[in-house]
Amino acid sequence: MALTRFLLLFSFICILLAAQSQTVVGFQASSFTREGDDYYDNWGIFRTYYAGPRGFLPHLATETLDENKELAYSIGESFQANYLIETDRAVAILKYVQTWTDYGYDSDNVIRDGEYQEEWAWNADEMAHAFDETRGITAIGDCEDMAFLCGTIYVGAGFDAAIVDAPGHAALVIWLPEFSNANSYWDLPNDGRDAGWIWVEATGGSNPLGWTPPDFEDGGWTAYPIGDLDFEVAPTQTTSPSIDIGFLLAIIAIIFSIIFGIAKRVGRR
Identity of the amino acid at 26:
G
The answer as to whether 3 is a domain residue is no
The answer to whether residue 267 sits within a structural domain is no
The enclosing domain of 67 has a CATH number of: 3.10.620.30
pLDDT in tens, 125-155: 999 999 999 999 999 999 999 999 999 999 9
**Predicted pLDDT of residue 162:** 97
With CA atoms as reference, report the closest residue to 221 among 93, 104, 57: 57
pLDDT at 231: 86
* Predicted local confidence at residue 254, as pLDDT: 55
- Contacts for 32-35 with beta carbons within 8 Å, 24 or more apart? 32/112, 34/112, 34/113
**Number of domains forming the structure of the chain:** 1
Burial class of residue 225, CB neighbours in 10 A (0-12, 13-18, 19+): buried
Give the pLDDT score at 22: 37
Q: Considering the domain boundaries, does residue 5 fall inside one? A: no
Residue stretches of the chain with pLDDT short of 50: 1, 3-26, 240-252, 256
In a domain, 262, yes or no: no
User: How high is the pLDDT of residue 265?
Assistant: 59
* 2 assigned to some structural domain: no
Range of the domain at 221: 24-257
Residue 235 is predicted with a pLDDT of 75
Residue 15 located in a structural domain: no
Listed in sequence order, the residues at least 6 apart from 105 whose beta carbon sits closer than 8 Å to its beta carbon are 142
Buried b (16+ CB within 10 A) or exposed e, 27-51: bbbeeeeeeeeebbbeeebbbbbbe
User: Is 4 contained in some domain?
Assistant: no
Q: Is residue 12 part of a domain?
A: no
